[in-house]
Amino acid sequence: MTADARPTTPDSVPPVDTAHSSGAPALALPFDVEEIERRPIVTERLVIRPITADDSDDIWEYQRLPEVLRYIPWPERSREEAHEHTMRRVGSRLLAEDGDNVHFAMVLSGEPSPTGSGRDRVVGDVMVRVASVEHARLELGWVLHPDFQGRGLAAEGTAAVLAFAFDTLQAHRVLAELVAANTASAKLCLRLGMRHEATFVEDEYDRDAGAWLDMAFYAVLRREHLAARLAG
Ligand SMILES: CC(C)(COP(=O)(O)OP(=O)(O)OC[C@H]1O[C@@H](n2cnc3c(N)ncnc32)[C@H](O)[C@@H]1OP(=O)(O)O)[C@@H](O)C(=O)NCCC(=O)NCCS
């Protein structure tokens, strides 16, 4: 973080306006992640900012683990392939059109990176994807290193990004799509105030496993999110 960076927090947003969601949908796009580089989102334990090339080794520490890949449609990658994948995500910096996505690192304050870089460790990441500009719909995706699961860190980081999606990007609706068997992720959706809206039976085919997957869809509306925050 630069010296003049003023961190944002989910609590420092403008006063909530529960009536706003009844208007015509309009995402606040284009959005360049440079804004979050200048003013990272700071939560109790995490700093959330765009991923960078320097994060590649920290990300590899969890991206290579079978238990992390179990419910994510990523192939097993070599270290070099994983680095290239991270670099593609690093280069994805603008939200403007359907399908655009950006990736934020969840950096655990005071936890040194195992790379010996002296930086705090990237323990996970959160994706924000434009599902529909027309309908002001965003999608979130997340991953946390297993060594740091079970502490509420994913909930803390993704809640901050969810608040960003509604407050800054002005989403009408934020959704998550997951393999229905991914109970840890489903619990996180509910913790975020999302509702289980549907499960599509045998919706995707996992070629590695040779099996059909049921896919679950969770979502929360802006007015529901703001009302929940008002209620504390
Ligand atoms: C999905 C995923 C991010 C959830 O991580 P997580 O650490 O379980 O999620 P949370 O941050 O919500 O933590 C919740 C757990 O921490 C516990 N916890 C401990 N301290 C806590 C605190 N201060 N606040 C909240 N929860 C706390 C909760 O009781 C809960 O435990 P439980 O699962 O036994 O009920 C993680 O399982 C993951 O990365 N999986 C692999 C990648 C993946 O599948 N991604 C999703 C693709 S759709």
Inside any domain, residue 223: no
pLDDT in tens, 29-49: 999 999 999 999 999 999 999
What domain count does the chain have? 1
Inside any domain, residue 19: no
Ligand 1 contact via 18 beta carbon (within 6 Å): no
Instruction: List the domain range (segments joined by +) for residue 83.
Output: 26-177
Q: Which of 51, 34, 35 is nearest to 142 (CA)?
A: 51
Ligand 1 contact via 188 beta carbon (within 6 Å): yes
Cα Rg, the chain, nearest whole Å: 17
The answer to whether 139 and 174 are in contact (CB under 8 A) is yes
Task: Count the residues in the chain.
Answer: 232
Inside any domain, residue 87: yes
**How far apart are the C-alpha atoms of 198 and 195, rounded to whole Å?**
9
Q: What is the pLDDT of residue 10?
A: 45
User: How many Å lie between the centroid of ligand 1 and the Cα of residue 26?
Assistant: 32
pLDDT band of 119, cuts 50, 70, 90: very high
Residue with tokens 């991206």: 63
User: How many Å lie between the centroid of ligand 1 and the Cα of residue 149?
Assistant: 5
Q: What is the pLDDT of residue 3?
A: 36
In this structure, what CATH number is given to the domain that contains residue 168?
Answer: 3.40.630.30
Q: How many CA atoms lie within 13 A of 88 on its CB side?
A: 8
